[in-house]
């Protein structure tokens, strides 16, 4: 497929008229063709109008039709073949195997949402039949289901050019819920975005759905994003990216005449707690495994372990020594964009220059563009708690070890943490009481709690929570990975005394969708 450098507005391909975006191969610094001229308010308006027109039809398509759209998108993405892999590798600097894996994950995710749509549990059907004889007042017939919120804007993420971008988790869950989607492509991978966008466009066409179900817009700077989020026809948005970018868009969404849900996944340093017995029995092995997680994808995962909190002593020294050696052995890795590389360098320099953090080890340097050198720093609990800058996320493969005097101080450090995507306990059996004591605190701080694993690697499944208290996300009540994400794009509606002819399928007496409904307080089986 030849890249055209065009936006996709419904079934059309449209050339932008604003300053063009060029992707850059971060591994070489090479500028990649074609140019992607940015969109204007005109394309935003057109995409929103098409989405708005498509909404009432699309949200009432059958579960089967919607599931088939998701599966067709997966098929079309796979049909792109090697050109997608090559372009995504060139635009991201990520290894080919990683991009192949990410394509698999993206397609599996779409197919998993198809299964979720078909199962229909997300409709959360509740029926309270009429009680005409009830005293002192009769009860009406009341039925509830969930409906889609409306057209949704999805912001592509830099660090997952496939799984969190044009056909990523937010798009899959919004389409599953019955919401048309407008994607604002991430400017780091416009070519990958065009390819995947064309796959979705083809799937919409093949499935005979209204063209407004999907559009893809380019644009550097914040103009297009702000215009999309503040358009009255948009009813929710999903975002994965930086804290400053997420908060700016979140504020715009809350300042509308009609505020809308804005799901931003922003900032997390993912604390790891190596507990005393585990440190004693396997401190060295743990230190090495920790750096393995730290280095994954050049540390450019939202769940990268950027913080280690433990009690000071010889056992922690063993962990730190092993981790230091592993860091020193770490080869440099290409980062996603020159901008991300610069921010990483500045974050690491901030730690290096701080009189409160001590550099313990750095990985290899390499004379190539945008290379991430792994970093390991140490600080004291007292300094960590008094210097907010030490809690800031350094996006990339650098981590900070916080040394605590004792378990009381460790608890105080944990209590002072901001909201996180994950919290990890490394423990042996002898740590069970300590772990049990920490668990309620960690539940208040994080969306996912791990024991004896590492936070990188987010499974797409029913039980996953990729979310957490602010500022990990703007809304801890949902997840952006896993099938539970469908609920973020839904709202309940109650139907009182509707004749059967008017009731939606899910609510009809005959239960044509064969759902297990909550009827008069009892779950149908």
Residue ranges of alpha helices (H) inside 329-431 are 338-353, 381-386, 407-416
| Residue with smaller CB distance to a second copy, 174 or 360 | 174
Letters for 186-225 (x = contact with a second copy by CB under 8 A, - = none) are: ----------------------------------------
Letters for 2-31 (x = contact with a second copy by CB under 8 A, - = none) are: ------------------------------
In the bound complex, what is the minimum distance in angstroms from residue 89's beta carbon to a second copy? Answer: 18
| Residue with smaller CB distance to a second copy, 342 or 437 | 437
Q: Does 516 bind a second copy (CB under 8 A)?
A: yes
In the bound complex, what is the minimum distance in angstroms from residue 370's beta carbon to a second copy? Answer: 27
Which residue in 157, 298, 490, 506 binds a second copy (CB under 8 A)? Answer: 490
**Angle of helix 82-92 versus helix 96-119 axis, rounded to 10:** 120
Interface residues for a second copy in 435-474 (CB under 8 A)?
435-436, 439-441, 443-444, 446-453, 457, 459, 461-465, 467, 469-471, 474
Interface residues for a second copy in 38-57 (CB under 8 A)?
56
Q: Is 211 noted as a catalytic residue in this protein?
A: no
Which residue in 288, 498, 505, 511 binds a second copy (CB under 8 A)? Answer: 498
Residues paired with 23 in a beta bridge = 32
Residue ranges of alpha helices (H) inside 451-521 are none
Asked if 197 contacts 168 with a C-beta cutoff of 8 angstroms, the reply is: no
Q: Report the alpha-carbon distance of residue 341 to residue 201 in Å, rounded.
A: 33
CA distances from 194 to 35, 104, 292, 366, 429 (A): 12, 18, 33, 32, 51
Letters for 109-148 (x = contact with a second copy by CB under 8 A, - = none) are: ------x-----x--x-xxx-------xx-xx-xxx--x-
Q: Is 265 noted as a catalytic residue in this protein?
A: yes
CA distances from 18 to 166, 219, 227 (A): 21, 8, 14
Interface residues for a second copy in 260-279 (CB under 8 A)?
261
Q: Report the alpha-carbon distance of residue 351 to residue 45 in Å, rounded.
A: 45
- By CB under 8 A, which span of 181-189, 202-210, 286-294, 476-484 interacts with a second copy? 476-484
Q: Does 388 bind a second copy (CB under 8 A)?
A: no
What b-and-e string marks burial along 461-497, b requiring 16 or more CB atoms within 10 Å of the CB? eeebbbbbbebbbbbbebbbbbbbbbbbbbeeeeeee
| Residue with smaller CB distance to a second copy, 21 or 272 | 272
In the bound complex, what is the minimum distance in angstroms from residue 18's beta carbon to a second copy? Answer: 31
Half-sphere exposure in the Cβ direction for 192 (13 Å, CA): 34
Q: Report the alpha-carbon distance of residue 521 to residue 471 in Å, rounded.
A: 37
Interface residues for a second copy in 220-259 (CB under 8 A)?
254, 258-259
| Residue with smaller CB distance to a second copy, 149 or 224 | 149
Half-sphere exposure in the Cβ direction for 475 (13 Å, CA): 21
The active-site residue, picked from 302, 372, 403, 404, is: 302
CB atoms within 10 A of CB 247: 18
- Annotated catalytic sites, by residue? 265, 302
């Amino acid at each position: 497929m030849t890249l055209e450098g065009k936006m996709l507005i419904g079934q059309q391909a449209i050339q932008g008229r604003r300053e063009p975006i060029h992707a850059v191969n971060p591994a070489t610094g090479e500028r990649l063709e074609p140019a992607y001229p940015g969109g204007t308010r005109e394309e935003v308006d057109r995409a929103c109008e098409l989405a708005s027109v498509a909404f009432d039809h699309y949200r009432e398509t059958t579960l089967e039709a919607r599931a088939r759209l998701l599966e067709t998108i997966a098929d079309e993405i796979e049909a792109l073949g090697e050109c997608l892999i090559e372009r995504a590798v060139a635009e991201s600097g990520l290894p080919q195997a990683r991009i192949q894996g990410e394509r698999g994950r993206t397609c599996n995710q779409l197919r998993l949402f198809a299964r979720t749509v078909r199962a229909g549990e997300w409709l959360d059907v509740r029926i309270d039949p009429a009680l005409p004889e009830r005293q002192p007042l009769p009860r009406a017939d009341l039925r509830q289901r969930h409906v889609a919120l409306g057209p949704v804007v999805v912001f592509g993420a830099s660090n997952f050019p496939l799984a969190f971008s044009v056909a990523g988790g937010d798009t899959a869950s919004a389409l599953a819920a019955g919401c048309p989607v407008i994607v604002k492509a991430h400017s780091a991978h416009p070519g990958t975005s065009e390819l995947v966008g064309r796959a979705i466009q083809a799937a919409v066409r093949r499935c005979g759905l209204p063209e407004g179900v999907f559009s893809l817009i380019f644009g550097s700077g914040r103009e297009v994003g702000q215009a999309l989020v503040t358009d009255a026809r948009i009813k929710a948005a999903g975002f994965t990216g930086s804290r400053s970018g997420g908060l700016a868009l979140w504020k715009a969404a809350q300042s509308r005449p009609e505020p809308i849900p804005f799901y931003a996944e922003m900032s997390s340093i993912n604390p790891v707690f190596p507990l005393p017995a585990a440190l004693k029995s396997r401190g060295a092995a743990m230190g090495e495994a920790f750096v393995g997680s730290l280095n994954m994808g050049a540390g450019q995962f939202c769940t990268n372990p950027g913080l280690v909190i433990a009690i000071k002593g010889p056992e922690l020294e063993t962990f730190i020594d092993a981790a230091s050696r592993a860091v020193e052995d770490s080869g440099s890795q290409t980062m996603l964009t020159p901008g991300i590389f610069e921010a990483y360098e500045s974050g690491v320099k901030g730690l290096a220059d701080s009189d409160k953090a001590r550099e313990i080890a750095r990985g290899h340097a390499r004379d190539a563009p945008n290379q991430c050198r792994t970093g390991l720093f140490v600080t004291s609990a007292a300094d960590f708690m008094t210097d907010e800058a030490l809690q800031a996320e350094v996006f990339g493969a650098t981590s900070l070890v916080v040394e605590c005097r004792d378990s009381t101080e460790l608890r105080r450090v944990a209590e002072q943490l901001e909201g996180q995507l994950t919290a990890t306990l490394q423990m042996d059996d002898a740590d069970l009481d300590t772990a049990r004591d920490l668990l309620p605190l960690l539940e208040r701080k994080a969306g996912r709690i791990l024991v004896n694993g590492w936070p990188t690697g987010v499974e797409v499944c029913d039980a996953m929570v990729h979310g957490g208290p602010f500022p990990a996300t703007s809304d801890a009540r949902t997840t952006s990975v896993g099938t539970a994400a469908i609920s973020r794009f839904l709202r309940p509606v109650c139907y009182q005394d509707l004749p059967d002819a008017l009731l939606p399928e899910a609510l009809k007496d005959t239960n044509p969708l064969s759902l297990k409904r909550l009827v008069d307080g009892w779950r149908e089986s």
